[in-house]
Amino acid sequence: MASNYKSIIENGYNLAKSLKDQGKLATYIPELANVDPSMFGVHMTKIDGTDFGIGNYKEKFSIQSIAKVLSLTLAIKTIGEKIWNRIDVEPSGTKFDSLLLLESYKGIPRNPFINSGAIVICDILITHLDNAPKDFLSFVRNLSDLPTLTYSDKIADSEKATGYRNVALCNFIKSFGNIKNDPAEVLDFYFDMCSLEMNCQQLSYTFSFLANGGRKLSNGEKIITNSQSKRINALMLTCGFYDESGEFAFKVGLPGKSGVGGGIVALYPHNYSIAVWSPKLNPNGNSFRGMKLLEEVTTHSEMSIF
C-alpha cells in the first residue's frame, strides 16, 4: 500500500466517526443489544509484518458471521472440493436467514456465508472431524495465535434462546437430506462458532493468511493452497455482505465478510487485511461506519482489486 496508509486510515476513521450516528444495534440477539453503540475501531495488518490501529481496536466484540469464513476454510482443508456438492457459490440476493431459495434449490444453500450455508458447513465438519467444536476452536487458535481463545457461553446461549429461524433453516434443510447429523448438535456448534470474540487487531491478523496466499504470516505455515485461498476470497467478494455484496464490491472493491456484531474484515491479496468494528448496523445488517471507512480507505489509497 502507499506509504501514507496510516494517514489514509486516520482520515477515513475521522470522516466515518463524524458522520451522523446512523444504524441500529442487532437487538434480535439480546446479548448484542448491550454493546456500547459508540465503539469504533480499525486495525490493518500488512503482509510485510507492519500494522496500524486507531480507535477501539483493542476492544473485543462478537465476530458472529465473520467466523463463517474460518469454518469454510476448515471444511475445504478437511474434504476439499467435495463440499461444493452440498453448497452452491452464488450470491443469494435475499436476507441472510431467508428460507425462500432453499425450497427452489431443494435444500442446497446458495453460498457458504448465508446462515443456511454455514449450517451445512457445520454439519460437514461434525461428520468429518472427531470433535467439531473442539477441533474448530483449535484451528482458529492456531490461525490467530490466541491459545486461550474460547467460545462465549453468554452470547451462544443468547442466540440459542432466540434463534428460531436458524432452527427452522436447519430442520428444513434436513427435510431435503442435506443435513446428515442431529439438527440440535449442528445448531449448537453453529451458535458456538458465531460466539467467538476478538478485537480488530486480532481479527485482521487472523485473516492475514487469506491475503498471503493461504499461509500464516508468523511462520509461513500453509493453511490452505493458494488456489483455495483465491476461491475463498472470490466468495467473500461476491457473497460476504448478503444482499449488499454488490454494493460493497462496487464501493470498496475488496473481498470481505461482515457480522451482525458490527465487525467487518476485508483484505487486499498480497498486501494487507483490515478489520473494522462499529456495532450500529445499516438496514442490510452491515456496520454503517465500517462500510464508510473501508470505502474511504480504498478510494484514497487506490488499493483495491479493481
pLDDT tens digits, one per residue of 160-180: 999 999 999 999 999 999 999
- Nearest 10 degrees: Cα torsion 139, 206, 125, 107: 180
- Residue 276: all three cell numbers together: 473494522
Q: Using CA atoms, how far apart are residues 54 and 49, in angstroms rounded to an integer?
A: 17
pTM here?
0.96
Please report, for residues 88, 119, 237, the alpha-carbon distance to residue 106 in angstroms, rounded to integers and kept in the order given.
12, 15, 25
pLDDT band at 2 (very low <50, low <70, confident <90, very high): very low
The type of residue at 181 is N
What rounded mean pLDDT belongs to the chain?
Answer: 94
| Poorest-pLDDT segment among 85-94, 186-195, 198-207 | 85-94
The closest alpha carbon to 209, from 201, 199, 196, 220, belongs to: 220
Neighbours of 7 (CB within 10 A): 11
Neighbour-count burial of 29, counting CB atoms closer than 10 A to its CB (0-12 exposed, 13-18 middle, 19+ buried): buried
Indicate if the pLDDT at residue 1 is higher than 60.
Answer: no
Please report, for residues 26, 31, 83, 235, 290, the alpha-carbon distance to residue 88 in angstroms, rounded to integers and kept in the order given.
27, 32, 9, 10, 28
